[in-house]
Amino acid sequence: MTRFVHLAGATSYREVHALQAELLDQRIRNVIPDTVLLLEHAPVFTVGRTRGAMANVLDPGEAEVVEVERGGDVTWHGPGQLVAYPIVDLRNRREDLHLHMHSLEEAVIRLLADLGVPSGRDDRNTGVWIEGHKVCSIGIACRRWVTWHGLALNVDPDPSWFQRINPCGFDSAIMTRLADHLDPCPSVGSLVQPLADHLADCLDIPRAPVGSTLA
């Protein structure tokens, strides 16, 4: 039975990162089932493993900058952005990280299609794109074929945050939001269960109602 858990409010990145690490260890030991966290973060810039990524942090201001294990460059997380962290065991099932990332993209593409917003992939870059602009960033890590980190869908965040970095190594103008393509724009909260359902289908894990606790 998969667990989908919505962490309400503007969550601390470091606290959720520690929670992911704990869940990752438990999933590796097969103590817990596949678990997907869905949330919004308090403003934070995260820097992945790409060489030279820290140079793309231009003016973080009051927001913390955190170096993390995921692949990719620098990105921003914060209010108005729906983040999903699937802690999913790929062992003896589909040990293919490219397929896993493709599946994360597909879940978002299907979600946006439900909303009447066409989107797709870029053959050269990860993520989900609308008319040449990036609406969803994806970066993962994997340990013993159990995944963590995940995706960040820009619903209606303040776009000025992206001007403080070169997001994913690009000029900030590359970024877009669902709010730029849909009026009225749905709330982040209203997209939690639909995204969970699409993630279940695309990751080939059972659907389940999104809960509010890990119990």
Alpha-carbon distances, residue 138 vs 28, 85, 123, 191 (angstroms): 22, 10, 14, 17
Alpha carbons 54 and 73: distance in angstroms, whole number:
8
Alpha carbons 181 and 132: distance in angstroms, whole number:
13
Question: Which of 63, 79, 62 has the alpha carbon at shortest distance from 159?
Answer: 79
Question: Which of 168, 152, 130, 160 has the alpha carbon at shortest distance from 53?
Answer: 168
* Active-site annotation holds for 185: no
Instruction: Give me the catalytic one of 136, 142, 168, 202.
Output: 168
Q: Which positions are catalytic? A: 168
